[in-house]
Structure formats: structure tokens, C-alpha cells
Amino acid sequence: MLTVEKIGGTSMTALNDVINNIILFNRSGKELYNRIFVVSAFSGVTNLLLENKKTGEPGVYHKLANFKDFHKPLKDLTTRLKEINKSYQGLGLNIEIADQFIETRINDAQTYLENLSNILASGYVNKENILQAAREILASIGETHSAFNFTNILQNKGINATLVDLSGFHDHRSFTIDQRIKHDLEDIKFDETICIVTGYAKGTEGIMREFDRGYSEVTFSKIAVAVKPEEAIIHKEYHLCTADPVLVGVENCYPVGNTNYDVADQLADVGMEAIHPKASKPLEINDINLRIKNTFDPEHPGTLITREYICEHKRVEVITGTDKVMIIDIYDPSMVGTPGSDLQIMQLFYNHGISYNFKATNANSISIVIWEKDFDKKLIHELEENFEKVTYEKAAMVCLIGSNMDRPGLLAKSASALAENGINIKSAGFALRKVNIQFLIAREDFNTAVIALNKAMS
């Protein structure tokens, strides 16, 4: 049974658990093989290379992009990666070889970046393309580092492991990502080795250009489509649960167990990613089942996501949401009966590259919810120029999500649970298929709302 498996950054940092709970768990001899592992960088490394994903704190990339000295940050990065190497010496990592590898890779990257910086300073080239190339070069370092170390440790434990470095660092051939994957995997006998593959893959289209920080799951998805495994598996540091155990308590939630790709898309739309949406589509189209497993709970089968699954009982599968959204309300008395008002608004959103995850309309107004990080005052000014009144405010969204939850009284029961806890509903909505019922509430009520809905649905 061939599997393609993805290991996230937090799990990768706990390599001892990965080896015991994923590589060796209930396996020995030839049972270890027929597995392709796509690995992320160790936790926090890509933040140092690019920028902190949560706080936006700049990394090496932003020094170069702003014409500042990036040599010291690169030197500091080398020191940090060597510290990480040292932490895995007890697992069998050959420190001398690992340090030499990462020193060489960063020195080579520095040469490339210096060339890009000089070209950028000339002012004769497209700045965007040069900076995009810099992001690609820097991003590749993290996954190459973790994949090299992981492979070395497994080999030193007597396991036949093969490093597949898709970064193409010194390969000048003009491969697309799919072509590179096919080329680098085509001669490997999967039943005789464990493949450790970099989550970054170099291609002419630029994986960072289209997917940015979601690229490792896209690589994972593309490999799965290429080799057609029995199953694709993502190992995370937690289960895909019916609610956030930190909020509602571990005893008040449980792993989802089974769901479908539509539900996975709904979760991603509010920031609870089982998998990046652009990575899930190829799996869904090619009818490849996806399993989400908890690295630290190896005996549990996790949650299986398939294309056709529909829960046989009517129930809410997941209660989730986010407290990081903004509501923009556009009002104009001329909207009523006038075709195209919605189109005009959507065109402005499109022009600013802003997507939305909720929209509600009535005769004279349209309310749209976007991520707070995407909020742009320029968009607001353009809306104000075209419509009578535009207001906006910070908010939270709580969602009931499931593959089969359309039953009488669900909406009333949900609204009552919120009302009983003193929570006012600012707006609410759902599409005809009723896989996601959304409530817009005050941001400070988010935690209470999730707990209340989880209790009401249990």
C-alpha cells in the first residue's frame, strides 16, 4: 500500500515522536517502505527566512527587499540552524555532515541573493519578479534543511531512506513543478525505501508566486496525483476535532472521524485548515482519499476525508470560526431594483485583490465579511465614492459545519443558545446546501459563542 504523507513543521520539530509514532509505529522490515514523506521546515525556520506568519515580523527576505544588509541575518540563520542540528544529535544526526550541508547551501543562496540584489539596485528590471525569485530561494532552505537531517537520521538508524530534494538548487533545466516531481521520482523503487521529499518544489511557474506559505501542502498534493497512492495522509500536532479542545475542553469534543472535501473547504474558509484549498482540489478531482492524523496519538485512525462521504445521521460535524474578520456594510437607496449594484461592488473588491467569506443582502445594503489582514482603506474610499454610506467594524464569525445537518429547528436552536448567553447576532446566513451556517457576532463574544454552540449541539 503506497502512501504519500505530509509532516508539518511543529511535528517535524518533534522528530523523536515522528520516528516512533509515524515511521516505526507497528512496522518493521519491508513494512517501513512504500511511503513518501513530504516535510515542512522545522517550526519557526520559514518565519526567519521570510516573515513571521502570524505577527508579520520581517525575516531575511525583507532585508533584501528593502535594500538593507541581509548578510548578518543569513549568518544568524546559519547559527540557528546549526543549533537545531545539535538538538538532534541524540537521535543519530551526523552533526559534522549536517552543519557542512547547511553552510554550503546558505553560502550558495547568499551568492544568488547578492546577484539578485545587484540586479535589483540597477533599476533596469521588474522588481516584483526579482523579489519573487528571492522568496523562492529563501523558502527552499528550510525544507531542504529538515529533509536532509531527517534522511540522515533514518539512514544512521539502518533504515533505507532516500532524500528527494525538489529545490533544484543547482539545476538550470526549465522544469514545471509537475515535471520536476516526475523526473525526481521516476527511478525510485518505492517498495525498497522511504522517500523524504522537500516541501518546497522549484518550477518555472514559481510555487511561492501562486501559493505562498501554503506551498508544502501543494507539493504533497502534486506528488499524490503523480503517484496515485492508496491514501494521502497529513500528520498534524492535533486531531481534526468537532470543536477547539482548548476552548471547549478535551472532554467536550472528539475527532471528526469522517467527512468530505466540501466540509474541508468550509473549514479552510474560516482559517481552520485541514488542508490548503488549492492542495485539496487535485486530490478531490483525482478521487484520492485524505487522512488527517495526530502525530502524538498514533493508535487513533484520525479523520478520513473523501469525495462522496455524507454522514448517515443528521449532525453538526464541526463548530468553529474566527475572531479576525471585518464586516463592511455598503448602503445606498438606489440599489433597490437596480441591476449591477452587487457587480460594481465585487469589481472593486476584485481590483484590490480582496476575497470575502460571507455576504448578506437586502433592498438597499450589502454586508461583506473579509479577513482583517486584508482590510484596505483604499477600498473603503473607493466604495464611499460610489455609494451613499459605507461602515465597517471588527467582528467574529462562528460556524456550524457538516455534510448532513439540514434538519428542522437547527437554526432556532443555535440562535437560542447564543441568546441565552447574551450574544447578539449581527448577521447570519447559509447557502441552500446548508453545509455551513454562519453567525456574525461581536469579537469579544467569540469564545463564549463556540462553547455555547458546542454544548447545545452535543
Concatenated DSSP letters of 239-294 = --BSS-HHHH-GGG--B--EEEHHHHHHHHHTT--SS-HHHHHHHHHTT--EEEEE
Look at 242-246, 284-288, 336-340 and tell me which has the smallest mean pLDDT: 336-340
232 has which bridge partners?
4, 290
At 83 the pLDDT is 97
At 271 the pLDDT is 83
At 214 the pLDDT is 80
Q: What is the mean pLDDT of residues 282-291?
A: 96
Residue among 452, 394, 397 at smallest CA distance from 429: 397
Task: Using pLDDT thresholds of 50, 70 and 90, give the confidence band for residue 127.
Answer: confident
The chain-wide mean pLDDT, for the chain, equals 94
Task: Using pLDDT thresholds of 50, 70 and 90, give the confidence band for residue 105.
Answer: very high
Q: Using one digit for the tens of pLDDT, what is the confidence trace for 26-63? A: 999 999 999 999 999 999 999 999 998 888 899 999 99
Secondary structure (3-state) at 86 = helix
Task: Using pLDDT thresholds of 50, 70 and 90, give the confidence band for residue 210.
Answer: confident
At 211 the pLDDT is 81
